[in-house]
Every structure is written in C-alpha cells, then in structure tokens.
Amino acid sequence: MSQEASMFSAADVAVTYSHSLGHDLPVEELRLPEDFGWGAATAAYQIEGAASQDGKGKSVWDTYSHLQPSRTNGQHADVSCDHYNRMPEDVDLMASLGIEVYRFSISWSRVIPLGGRNDPVNEKGLAFYNDLINRLVARGIKPVVTLYHWDTPQALYDRYGGLLDTAEFRADFARYARLCFTQFGDRVRKWVTFNEPYITSIFAHLNGTLAPGHCREAGTDTKTEPWRVGHTILLSHTDVVLMYACEFQPSQKGDISIVLNGHFYEPFDAGSPADRAAAKRRMVFYIGWFGDPVFLGRDYPAEMRSYLGSRLPEFMPEERDLLRQAAPLNAFYGMNHYSTKYARKLSEPPAEDDWTGNIEESSVNSEGKEVGPASAMGWLRVAPEGFRKLLGWVWERYHVPIIVTENGCPCVGEDDLATAVDDKFRQRYLGLYLDAISRAIYEDGVAVKGYYVWSLMDNYEWSAGYGPRYGIVHVDYETLKRTPKNSALYLRDTFKRRRGVSS
C-alpha cells in the first residue's frame, strides 16, 4: 500500500463542505466480463510477523521500524497478523470468501537471510512459501507473487547501500529471482518484479518517510538518490523479465511484469492553461518515469530529461537494447490506485531536490470543491471518475492489458469491531470503483483483466503503524482473531452478480 507525503495545501484541512461527483454517484453494479478475475493483496512485511523465526534475516523495515525516536508511530511488525504461523487458517478464510486470486509478496530475507548471490538459502523460508502456494492451489486460488515489496535485506543495505549500487543490486536480485522461479514457478503463473518503484524511490530515498529513511535532514543526497534508485529498479526489472522469458517461461507458461502506482491528476484551476499543463506533467513524472522504459522500451520521458538534467541517470546503449527487448515481454500493467488529486503549477522557484516538476498537489480545487469525500486517510478520496480516466490514460499510452493490483480504503472508526464490520463507506467505495472499471471496459475500450482489493486483512501500514485499517477482514491485534467485514461479503456477491456467475 502506498504511503503519501505531506504535500497538501491548507485548503485540505480548511474546507468544511463537500461538492463533487464522488459524493453523489450511486453504485450501479455494472457488469464485468465473465473471465474477469478478482482477489485480494498483501505484502510480506505487513502481515507475516515471525521477524526472526526459522532463520529469517532482517530487512530494512525490521531496522527502520525499531529506530528511536520512532518513525513508525512507535510500532513495528515483529508479530503483526502472525500470518507466518496462521497461514493455513488464512487460506481457508480466503476460500470461504470466494477469493479467486491472492497476490502476496515473498520476503527476500526469509529465503536468503543475507540477501546476496553467494549467501546461503534458508530452506525453512522456502518451505513456508511452498506450503502457502500448495494450499492456495489446492483451494482453487491462483497465486500472484511479488518478488520485491520494499523490504531490501538489511545485509545488502549494509554492504553497499542496497538500491543505490546498481551493479551489485542487479546481480543479487537476479539470483533471488532465479531461486523463486526455480522453487515456485511450476505453480505460479503470474509474477511481479517490483511493487511501486515510485514509492521506493521518492518516499524511501527523498522524503525519508519509508525505510531506509533517506532525506535531506539525514544528510543524504536527495537531488540524485531517488533517480539512481529508480534506475536500479528499472534495470533489475529488465534483467529478470528477460531471464524469465528465456529460462522459465517456455516450460512454466507464466506471465511477468511490474506494478506501478499512481493517482489521476486534475487541474487545480480548470480554466488555467498552466494548471492543465501541470496535471499532464504530473502524470508523466509519476507514471511515465517507469512506464515509458518498461512498456515502451525507451528512455525516460523528455519532460523529465529536460527538467532534471544531470540528476537523471543515462541508459547506456546496451541497456537501451535490453529495455527494447524486454518491453513486449511485460504481459500486463499492474495498477495500484487509490485516489485522484488536483495539480497546481507553482510560481516560486522549486527546491533543488524537487521531484514533481514544481507542482503542488491538493484534494481541493480553486473553487473550494473537494475531489471526493475523505476516507480515514485525508489524502484518499472517493473519486471513481478519476480512476476511469487513469485507466484510459494508461491504456492509451501503453496498450497493455491492465490488472488493478491494489485498490481500497480505510474507514473512520474501525477500531471498534461493530463499526469495522459494518463498513458501508468501504463497500460504496469498492462498488463505485468497480463501476468505473466496467465503464472503462465497455464504453472506453480499455482492456482491464482483474481486480485485487487492498487488503485481505488489516495489517501494519508502514510508517502509520496499526492506525489505518484497509482490510476486508478485521484483525484484533491483541488476540489476532480474524473477522470478515461486510465488504468481504459484498465483493464475493457483487462479482457473482456483475459477471453473471450462478450461485
């Protein structure tokens, strides 16, 4: 799940009334294709717990969440949902809810505790994921596996800075990926290399709100680090896509790609040419940064090259060849999306480490209209019309089938079990966003193939700790009891109705 920086204007907290389509739209239960797949998603660090059990090594998140003073709301995920020890129960729960696809990530430091290409493998870690995959397959649930969901092995960060050393990271990530393909690929038909590289680059290596916490205040080079990290991710992704296509895909018959997150951006002032241009520019800086090299096999967008200059790394001729070779092998566009924002061009000079194109983001426009009603997170607004536009934007730019790999929201007051279970706000949000997918498919001609709700269960929400709850299953963090919310039942039933599946 994405973490947001504090980039909001004062209007976000000052506005006391609401007016937008997101407030007034009814859920219409629009149809979806019969073969449209639905499921739920999680990430290893957020749910597994068992932080040092059975030989698991530390990740940067194990370190970051224990820093003093705390940068994670005084909380960590040493136990979290204890999925590592309760996995059979969780698979049974998924089956009872009719979940068809389960997207989860592998903890790199659980299977290779020190992470490196010459480091020993942890057989108990491999056994856990083999058991999980076997149980999913036995219950008719398709596993979708993410190799990297933000948790670099701490040992690699200590050795060479992790993602900041492109050559070393590429080699270590390739060995890790090959191990996973070899161990699990006979049952896994869909792979994701990296989850949300934008977040790893900006929030972990510029804003410092995510592990390892690099920021200007910490004395790190925020002018260049984020772009070096992004460069490393792109080349590592490309290596692994080519490896999979050459060595594993012929026999395993699976697909591979990447997951990119992104908001849709509307102009702060629709009548302002500068703000209209700012909204378009923000889309390119956010999504085109990774989408253009991955899916078009070409250099970073020209707008980024022009603005960032020498801050943006160059692809060597042989690396450009690899990008071109890998581009058609990315079988789907994994889309993590939660909300829509307004973009406004700033008139004052940008900071020397600006990463937006000198653009301010807000949930309220120049007329005082909110982009949609707020969830329990102020930045996450109900704005299904923006979602439909984003689906169209991605399809028009890349023409790759889209899978919505994360989408969801936290509701206000979910610490109380009764309130959490009766999550009408979430049900409406999900219903509206599924309607938006239907319109994108049948009215706009966008190829959307599936939808994975975030998240299967309440969990550790990174630097926000255990505050916001995104799950369709409530977790009591003291007893670890799982209780399905009404949204879980809504999703089970709405997909039957929308796809015309008989009970």
Catalytic residues: 196, 406
Residue 13 tokens read as 């907290």
Listed in sequence order, the DSSP H helices in 373-485 are 384-398, 417-421, 424-442
At 330 the three-state DSSP class reads coil
Contacts from 136-140 at CB under 8 Å and sequence distance 24+? 136/91, 136/94, 136/102, 137/187, 139/91, 139/92, 139/94, 139/95, 140/95, 140/100
Q: Are 75 and 462 in contact (CB under 8 A)?
A: no
Residue 312 tokens read as 């943006």
CA atoms lying within 13 Å on the CB side of residue 364: 17
Among 273, 106, 130, which Cα is nearest to 194's? 106
Listed in sequence order, the DSSP H helices in 327-423 are 384-398, 417-421
At 194 the three-state DSSP class reads strand
Q: Cα dist. 361→226, 263, 264, 265, 270 in Å?
A: 19, 11, 11, 9, 14
Q: For the chain, give the longest Cα–Cα distance.
A: 60
Query: Could you give the CA distance from residue 163 to residue 170 in angstroms, rounded to a whole number?
Result: 9
CA atoms lying within 13 Å on the CB side of residue 166: 20
Q: Cα dist. 10→6, 364, 494 in Å?
A: 11, 9, 38
Residue 199, sorted as left (phi over 0), alpha (psi -120 to 50) or beta, turns out to be: alpha
Torsion angles phi and psi, residue 256, rounded to 5: -145, 150
How many C-beta atoms surround the C-beta of residue 437 within 10 A?
Answer: 24
Cα separation of the two ends of the chain: 32
Query: Could you give the CA distance from residue 409 to residue 403 in angstroms, rounded to a whole number?
Result: 18
Residue 69 tokens read as 């003073």
